[in-house]
Amino acid sequence: AEYAVPGWESQEIFHKPYVAVAPNGDIYASDPQMYRIYVYAADGALKAAFGNYGADMTQIGLPTGLAIDATSNSILVADADNNRVMVFPLLP
């Protein structure tokens, strides 16, 4: 299936969303210009969003990559602005 996300069509290549799919089918998508991660159900319904700009341990500078770690039930977020990989728990 294909779902349109308003606003992303005009972003530069560097700022396109990154996507990862959790074992339960949830779709995690980054919005680099808004410093957020969105979580969608497999049917495209928005389940949650998290993140805001900053360098604290709960903030994201520039999410430029996502990966799912099924072993630890977490999502890894590459934060280019803060030179780190952040780890967040997956939604149930």
Report pTM.
0.84
Characterise 51 by phi-psi region: left (phi > 0), alpha (psi -120 to 50), beta (else).
Answer: left
- Give pLDDT, residue 13: 46
Going residue by residue through the chain (92 aa), what tens digit of pLDDT does each one get?
666 665 555 555 456 789 999 999 999 999 888 899 999 999 989 999 999 999 998 899 999 899 999 999 999 999 999 999 999 999 98
Alpha carbon distances (Å) from 47 to 14, 21, 43, 68: 25, 14, 11, 17
**How far apart are alpha carbons 10 and 32 in whole angstroms?**
13
- Give pLDDT, residue 33: 84
8 Å CB contact between 82 and 74: no
User: Which residue(s) pair with 2 in the sheet?
Assistant: none
Domains of the chain: 8-89 (2.40.10.500)
